[in-house]
Amino acid sequence: MKIGVIHPNWQRSECFKECQTLEEAKELALQYTRMFGWAEIIEYETIEEYDREEIRNDR
């Protein structure tokens, strides 16, 4: 299982950053929340799997 952070950017689109550890993900999520208002830590097998799940959930 991999871990990453989904966050917005200055162009208001979503970005993804893969992390090596949960601690790194938490630090990045906190930083992005301060900068952009939100961030989400995710666990996934592949980013394509995450994308399919988000489409099913109509994010």
- The amino acid present at 17, given as its one-letter code, is K
First to last CA, the chain: 22
- The amino acid present at 54, given as its one-letter code, is E
Low-confidence ranges of the chain (pLDDT < 50): 59
Give the pLDDT of residue 54: 65
Q: How many domains does the chain have?
A: 1
Beta-carbon neighbour count of residue 37 at 10 Å? 9
Give the pLDDT of residue 47: 65
Find, among 48, 52, 30, the residue nearest to 40 by Cα.
Answer: 30
Question: The domain containing residue 52 runs over which residues?
Answer: 2-57
Question: Model pTM greater than 0.85?
Answer: no
